[in-house]
Structures are given as structure tokens and as C-alpha cells.
Chain A
């Protein structure tokens, strides 16, 4: 038993962190929100191997590597990277498990290579297609059928301007059969895991930024981080994140076991709560500047609130944790 990342996994995370730091995501997020669909970063993430992590080896992927996927999504969350990343990874699972080799062969190698951006709708759990305007393919899963879907009209406005959410209509039917609901369930669980990892990363970045701010911002002749009221808020945020992270990695390790669905739900509840608390405290400690659109923490704060209810609400996941008979 060794429940810490190995050297290679840590290096993978550090490589992504370096890439994203050099990219400077705040400017990129703002451009994305303004409608710029440049794929330079997407291609760079693909070169780092991010999109191979949910693609089977026979389709040029790395096989399904849930721990590495969590490492990657944690870093992507830390830098609040926009775009349908979780959706593309979940779509890869759906296409890989749908029991249709031709369909898999058509899309999966392109996903692994970063040449296909995919969005996804599964009416009961993922209602609208994120950034469908940027996608090469939008999937609509309904019962035993998978359809390619088209955006219907313009995007619905989200709190997070970097998330454009499209209602869709079904186009061409891509696959059908009893394997589809199973594939859709597997895709959903992986999406929940990826979203949870992203939330922990978002929360961690907000905590780090806020700690730096509390050390430097002075009021009443001292750094505000000297006040216990501020300290205790930040200590609570750290505690939440420190106990959410092991649940996310623990869920990654239960991939393939009957506990996976329950474990990803537990991870999502904890990650969502921890990240949301980080966002609230970040907002409070930054004061008025944190409430502004022009100050970068707002990019993280808005994304956390959006993801809090995406890929299943906290209430749905709590119910799922207790629904499994034991």
C-alpha cells in the first residue's frame, strides 16, 4: 500500500503546471469567454498526453488511467482551463464502451491526438452541451441510443462567461443497443471523477492566491492575515481541501470496482464543498476587489460555482452515496 503519487505521476502534474503557468490562463480564459476558439493550448495538452488518458490502447490511447487523469484535471483546475475537457474525456469513455468498433475507430484516435473536441449531453445528468460551438462532435445520449447533436439556437448565459451552454437537437444516430446505457453510466462516473479533480485544483489555487493576498494586504497597520478571523477561514479551507483530495484519488483507484459510482459521488460531494468554501473565503478575504470581473480570482470563483452543480448536484451525489446497499 502506497497512497501517494509516484515520481512519474508527480512529474506529469509538474509538467502540466509549468505548461499552464507559461500559457498564462487568465488572459486565455477571457479570450475564450469572448468567443475565441483557438486550439493552441488544446493541442499542447494533447501532446502532454492528457486526452490519451481515457482512450483505449487499441485506439491510440494510453488505456484508461484514472489516477493520471486526476493528476491532469487537478492541474487543469488549478489553472481554470476553459473548454469541454471533462466532456471530451467522458465522451471517450462512452465511445470506447459503446460496443461499436467502427464508431470508436472513427473518433477515439482523433480525441487522443487532440484533433477532436467533443461536447456531450445526457439529459438526466448533463443538460446542455458545454462549448458546443467549439466542438467537432456533440454527443447526445438517450436511453439505448447515442446521437450526434447540433446546437439549437444560441448559448444560454452562465455565471461563468467561459462556459457557453447550448441546448441541442438530435442529428444522426451513431449507436444503439444495451451497451449504450452501461457506457453512458461509465462515462458519467468518469466525468464526475474528472470534475471532482478539477474542483480540488480550483480550490487549491484559490487558497494559494488568497494566502498570498492575506500576507500582503495591510489594514489597521498590519497584514490582514495576522487577524485570527482571517486565519481561521483559511485554515478551514485547507482542511476541507486536504480531506477532499484523498477521496478523489481513492475514487480513481476504485475504478473498475463495484464501489466506483459511490466513491466518485463521495469525492464530488467533498471536492465541491471544499472548492466552494475556498471560493467563498477567497471572495471574502479579497474584499471588494475580489467581487470585480477584472480581478483574476473571479475567473476561478465563477467556475467553482458552475461546477458545484455540474456533473450531478451535491444533493444527487449524497443520495447516490447512501443509495448503494451495504
Chain B
């Protein structure tokens, strides 16, 4: 057992030097605004040109073939440098792992390089008005037509869709099949004929997500991922990526809690807030070490990804709540901490609510009996 990071130090030093030279001196505007989205897209292009947008991908697709440890260290450096939030994360962290597991070579070659280069920004299209935590209740359809599929229905809470280029999601391709069966995983352009995007303001009014209305949208066969009808298995095989380490890496929380500690000291180190600052700082280090443990394991972490998701999403809220309490009466004023706070509040809801995650932990990790469900 060791925590020897020396083998990745040269890579770390290179990343650190590049970030020091290139991270914008003043923070970019919120990526949930049109101007901010454009600025963040330009930043993704700069990262992509240096092969730093998706370091763990093979070089052929625009990455660096980085090891999981190099990726963790990259993330630590990235957030420690105060670099911008990642507007491309839906594509890089959610779609790309699915393509690596189930995509064809043609799909990998066509989809990944523009994603790495920041040229195509992806939105997710999972939820529907009647299918939130209960994703298998989805009703939007994919109907077989010559050369492809016609999509119809409504998707919602589609992160980044207000300004993104393309989206991916699950559609019911066999109307006779129930719930998890008869679903197909598809990619489609958000500017295709028949797609209407209606941005939705999040809690602070910014259009962080959107509703998508799909009216006979044509998708060619080449944009189906995996086998038609096997969409649930395809999507779930990489769901752990979203709940586990990759969506919110430890580096993000290490940097945020270091800033929280500095903020608390600048504001007079109020002893009434000390324990909360300490707890946030400790938990971020716990998540870092847990990440090292996860990548050291040889088995699949499986449902344990849910333990991670509960932990980081609640840590994110706690640390931002603490920062706002340090700011006191100024907490309500626009600023980075408030932006981070509003962003963090969505964490316990998306990627499967934390209530669902706790059920998963209890049933699949601890082995408690499944609840009797209504409608199976």
C-alpha cells in the first residue's frame, strides 16, 4: 500500500505550467448564459488544442492516453489553478464512456475528435415529464423508418441544451415492450428539423437546462449506440461513471475547500463556523483518498458508485452553504460562491436522486431486501 505520486510528477508539472500560462485571469461569465457558454466553448477549444480536454482518451481521439492516476492528478491541477467549469462534461464524462464500451469504430472516429476539440458540445436528454428518478417510465419514441428512426416526444431537464449542439438519450423503440425493455440509445442534433428547444431557467433564473420537443426528428442508423432495443443496458453499463468519480472529480472539492478555508480565515476565522470548515476540508481529502482507492482496485466498483454520488453531492452543498455563512449578509450577492452554491443544489437531484442512490446502496451493496414495488 502506498501513495507514491512521483511517477506522474512530470505530467503534473507540465499541466500545472500550461494552466498557469493559460487560465483566464478573470473568471469567465457563468456558463449558463449565452455569453458565458461561448466563452467556455472557446476555453474548451484551447484545452483541446493542447490535448488536455480529455486526457484519459487515446491519442487517436484527441486525448493523451493518460492513466486513471494521471487523470486524477490532472483534475487536481485543473481546479487548483482556478480553471473554468467544463461545458463539455456531458459529452466527455457521460457519452464518451458509453461510446468506448458500445460504439463502433466509425462512431468513435466521427464523434470523439470534435468533442475533444470543443467543436461539438453535447447535452444529455434522459428525463421526461413523467420519467425522472423512474427513468424506465420514459415514453418518447423512436419509430423504425427507412435508413433510421423518427423520434417523437418530450425530454426535459436537459443540461446545457439551451446552447449545445447535439444530444443523446433513450427512446422507446418497441411500443409493446415494458419499462426497461425495448429502449434504444440515440444521438441527435439539437438543430435538426422537428427539434424545438425551450430553455428553462434554473433556481437563479439562468437557462442551465431545457425542454426538448421532438416532432418526427429523423436520426440515421449510424447514430444508434449499441443494439436497438438494448438501450437500457447500454446506458446503465456506464451509469457508474456519472455517479462515481468521473463526473465530479476529487480535484474540484480539494480546490473548493482550500478556497473555503482561505475565505474563512480572511473573514476572521469565526470559531462558530470552524467545525463546518474543518469537516468540509476533511471530507474533500477523504474523497481524494477514496478516488485513489477506487483506481487501485481491480474489481468493478458497481453499485458502490452510488456511495460516491451521495458523498460528493452532499459535500458540494455543505461546503457552499458554509462559504455563504462565512460571507454572512453578503451571501445573497452575485459571485462565484453563490454560483457554486446554486450549481451544487442540483447535485443531490441529478444522476438519480440521493434517495434512489440510498436505496441502491442498501439493496445492492448492503444486501437488504428489495422494496415491494408498485407496477414492478
Give the B-binding residues of A (Cβ under 8 A).
Answer: 1-6, 9, 67, 207, 211, 214-215, 222-223, 225-228, 230-232, 234-236, 238-239, 242-244, 246-247, 249-250, 253, 266, 269-270, 314-315, 318-319, 321-322, 326
Contact = CB atoms under 8 A, between A and B. Distances in A.
Nearest to A241: B307
B278 interface: yes
Interface residues of B, number: 46
A235 B261 CA distance: 29
Contacts of B21: none
A1 B293 contact: no
B282 A234 contact: no
Given A4-B297, A235-B366, A322 B4 contact: no
Nearest to A274: B286
B367 A318 contact: no
Contact of A226 (B278, B297, B311, B372): B372
A3 B3 CA distance: 6
A3 B289 contact: yes
Interface of B: 1-5, 7-8, 69, 258, 261, 274-275, 277-279, 281-283, 285-287, 289-290, 292-293, 296-297, 304, 307, 310-311, 355, 357-359, 361-363, 365-372
Contacts of B277: 322
Given A232-B355, A235-B361, A247 B282 contact: yes
B358 A236 contact: yes
Contacts of B285: 247, 250, 266
Given A226-B369, A266-B285, 4 more contacts: A226-B368, A319-B278, A322-B274, A322-B281
A266 B282 contact: yes
> Which secondary structure dominates chain B's binding surface?
helix
Given A242-B290, A249-B1, A253-B3, A215 B355 contact: no
5 contacts: A222-B369, A226-B372, A232-B358, A250-B3, A318-B278
A101 B14 CA distance: 49
B305 to A, nearest CB: 12
A253 B1 contact: yes
A207 B365 CA distance: 12
A67 B369 CA distance: 36
